[in-house]
Structure 1
Amino acid sequence: MKNEVLLSIPIEKSATSKITNVDFENLTFGSIFTDHMFVCDYKDGAWQTPQIVPYGPIELEPSARVFHYGQAVFEGMKAYKDEEDQIWLFRPDENFKRINKSSKRLAIPEFPEEFFFQGMKTLLQLEKDWIKKGIGNSLYIRPFVIATQGSVLASPANEYRFMIICSPAQAYYGGEVRVKIAEHYSRAASGGVGAAKAAGNYAAQFYPTNLAKEEGYQQVIWTDADTHEYLEEAGTMNVFFRIGDTLITAPNDDKILDGVTRKSVIAVAERNGIKVEVRRIKVDEIVKAVKDGKLKEIFGSGTAAVINPILGFGYKGEKFELPKIENSYANLFKETITKIQHNEAEDPYGWRYKV
């Protein structure tokens, strides 16, 4: 990771700031954005000079290929401020590698490493007052790239725009979460784009998730497209199951997103002597485990919530509740990871990145 590259990025400062009008005690996730954004265009076969400009609308042709063929990928990251006013990122090298992996899968040119890191650092230093101290407070960072060339020819675009926008965030709490295990719909198919953080993956989830909500569930645990026998992801998160004292999660393949938080949970578990199995998991195994009283926990892992416990699930007309337990794995992982993120604990893994 080239974290010492000195790259001068032109900055056009906003004439006024919106920050005085923001109620940081009552934030709706992803609805308020900071004063500036990072922009870099690709044309003539190369990424052009990046710049930081005031946050605002962008102009695109109605024929821009992102609208017609969905060439769009993104990342989700957070910046944290400790009690010494130092700003930290959490494993940003993984996000950088993943957005380029996603881009490659959608035939989008990969973004230069020095542009990514220096651009983000410059933007965060400019917006440092938007990052609030305290566990749970953060600045959500959304890097993304879209096809901007005006043409409805069904082929990869020749022009793209890479951008980074930022949104202040509080502790994410989704309330009590119960999920429906999918019997018909799938998140991704073998050979598809499930391992890419492609915008279309999320659009395709909305309809079956709405159907689940009509039945009283908050999310869906997706099953494999071939047989619907194997569990894959929970909503927009990787998912973990605790049977007895063993933690189980599905393996990464071309259907499952290589989650940064997922990797971190596995590392923390192994360091704490918790047995981890990365393998395919049948729905029938989980149903049997809950009926036998051996299923202790299910939780999702992701950037927004870090860890999101799941209290119960439905499958084929049956509903199952999980036991309430003390000293849960979910709490251990969330506390360990959030303290590292906020520089309130040692980082034996080398995950923190100082801005």
Structure 2
Amino acid sequence: MAAFGTVFMPKMSLAEYKDQRWDYQQLVNSDSLNLHPGAHVLHYASTCFEGLKAFRHDDGSVHIFRMDKNIARMAQSSRLLALPPIDVTLLRQMIIDVVTAFNDQVPAPPGSMYIRPTHIGTEPAIGKAAHPTNQSLLYVLLSPVGDYFSGGIKPLKLLVEDQGSRCAAHMGMIKSGGNYASALGPILQAREAFAADQVLFCPNGDVQETGAANFILIDGDEIITKDLDSSFLHGVTRDSILTLARDRGMTVSERPLSVEELIERAQKPQTEAALSGTAAVLTPVGSLVYQGRTINVGNGQGGPITEQLRNALNAIQWGQAEDTHGWLTRID
């Protein structure tokens, strides 16, 4: 099977911003873009994106999960990067149009159709390092994906980095390619030195997130995760998991979490930890590497609450449980 996110539908929806207006070009070929070599994005990283999914239900219908939440976050990212303002109504239509066009290609569960809206600055101007682009492209790619856990769920090992940051603190809540690029070096070093799967960035001892997912600690009936600020990404899956935890009567504590408290709680038998994100939903964390020592989280194998919360979210996405929060948008 092809690697996650490497197969694409042959068409994408595309709109261009120029002369202070959006021009929606409908569906175009998805195998290339025509960019000037001096395009703003290629020199000054004026780019942001989103990741969301469409799911097929047992009756054959297709539903997009939390589309409006992702669109709102992309509008926020564009604004914070000084990209041209996104027309949220237009982007919503672009997503619906391209998913509708390939409705019959949406896989059945546990597969899904991964949706990747992308916004890039295209003005050919290499003298605008301190100025925003006045032109941009907005497009929506589709990638059918299979079961993220096709080889079985493997608890992750995280290197706890208590000094360095994933990205600049004022950029954390932007879903921008530059933030992922800045985390890549430390992640590769952690893999080589400690066989770690990811790095948990905790600048000045403040537990934040990994290179590509939010971090959640589960201690009995309490979920602890960092309170929202500008330093890290406000995950849609994170928000969904916390909402489902509250529905179950769990205590949700969104507050600062220090490395010291994390290490102390991690060694309790009932403790669980997980990473939340669109691709893997909720993935268990089995161990932490800190100051050269490997520390199991709970029993080191993940735990029942992580599994229950992941299954509860999947059940809504797959149409096997009632969507009481209005998270699904049906595509006809």
> Which range, TM-score by smaller chain?
over 0.9
Query: CA separation in 2, counterparts of 1:117 and 1:101?
Result: 15
Report the alpha carbon displacement of residue 204 of structure 1 after superposing the two structures with TM.
0.5
- Is the counterpart of residue 144 in structure 1 residue 118 in structure 2? yes
Name 2:40's counterpart in structure 1: 65
* 1:260-299 equivalent positions in 2, closer than 5 A: 260-291=236-267, 293=268, 296-299=271-274
Deviates more, 1:259-268 or 1:109-118: 109-118
Counterpart residue identity of residue 152, structure 1: I
TM-score for the superposition, normalised by structure 1: 0.88
Contact 1:43 / 1:160 at 8 angstroms: preserved in 2? yes
* 1:65-144 equivalent positions in 2, closer than 5 A: 65-134=40-109, 136-144=110-118
Name 1:337's counterpart in structure 2: 313
Query: CA separation in 2, counterparts of 1:195 and 1:126?
Result: 32
Name 1:170's counterpart in structure 2: 146
Report the alpha carbon displacement of residue 295 of structure 1 after superposing the two structures with TM.
5.9
Of 133, 136, 145 in structure 2, the residue corresponding to residue 160 of structure 1 is 136
CA-to-aligned-CA distance 1:40-99 (integer Å, 9 cap, x gap): 000001111331112221111111110110000000010111121111011111001000
Contact 2:156 / 2:287 at 8 angstroms: preserved in 1? yes
Consecutive unaligned residues in structure 2, runs of 5 or more: none
Contact 1:27 / 1:170 at 8 angstroms: preserved in 2? no
Contact 2:217 / 2:224 at 8 angstroms: preserved in 1? yes
3-state SS in 2 of match to 1:353: strand
Report the alpha carbon displacement of residue 326 of structure 1 after superposing the two structures with TM.
8.5
Deviates more, 1:321-330 or 1:51-60: 321-330
Query: CA separation in 1, counterparts of 2:33 and 2:301?
Result: 49
* 1:245-260 equivalent positions in 2, closer than 5 A: 245-260=221-236
CA-to-aligned-CA distance 1:185-209 (integer Å, 9 cap, x gap): 211343x210010110001011000
Deviates more, 1:233-242 or 1:318-327: 318-327
Query: CA separation in 1, counterparts of 2:180 and 2:324?
Result: 34
Contact 2:155 / 2:302 at 8 angstroms: preserved in 1? no
3-state SS in 2 of match to 1:49: strand
Query: CA separation in 1, counterparts of 2:269 and 2:285?
Result: 15
TM-score for the superposition, normalised by structure 2: 0.94
Of 16, 33, 41 in structure 2, the residue corresponding to residue 41 of structure 1 is 16
Report the alpha carbon displacement of residue 281 of structure 1 after superposing the two structures with TM.
0.2
Query: CA separation in 2, counterparts of 1:152 and 1:82?
Result: 48
Counterpart residue identity of residue 275, structure 1: T
Name 2:177's counterpart in structure 1: 199
Q: Residue 114 and residue 150 in structure 1: after superposition, are their counterparts in 2 closer, same or farther (change >3 A)?
A: same
Query: CA separation in 1, counterparts of 2:214 and 2:246?
Result: 18
Query: CA separation in 1, counterparts of 2:224 and 2:134?
Result: 43
Query: CA separation in 1, counterparts of 2:42 and 2:208?
Result: 29
Query: CA separation in 1, counterparts of 2:229 and 2:178?
Result: 18
Contact 1:241 / 1:295 at 8 angstroms: preserved in 2? no
Contact 2:53 / 2:115 at 8 angstroms: preserved in 1? yes
CA-to-aligned-CA distance 1:97-135 (integer Å, 9 cap, x gap): 00000000000122212211222111111111221112x
Counterpart residue identity of residue 126, structure 1: A
Contact 2:272 / 2:302 at 8 angstroms: preserved in 1? no
3-state SS in 1 of match to 2:253: strand
Name 2:202's counterpart in structure 1: 223
Query: CA separation in 2, counterparts of 1:296 and 1:231?
Result: 16
Q: Percent identity?
A: 30
Consecutive unaligned residues in structure 1, runs of 5 or more: 1-25
Report the alpha carbon displacement of residue 175 of structure 1 after superposing the two structures with TM.
3.5
Matched residues, number: 324
Query: Deviation above 6 Å: which 4+ runs of structure 1?
Result: none
Contact 1:243 / 1:294 at 8 angstroms: preserved in 2? no
Contact 1:38 / 1:51 at 8 angstroms: preserved in 2? yes
Query: CA separation in 1, counterparts of 2:283 and 2:303?
Result: 15
Query: CA separation in 1, counterparts of 2:302 and 2:74?
Result: 37
Report the alpha carbon displacement of residue 176 of structure 1 after superposing the two structures with TM.
3.6
- Is the counterpart of residue 184 in structure 1 residue 166 in structure 2? no
- Is the counterpart of residue 354 in structure 1 residue 330 in structure 2? yes
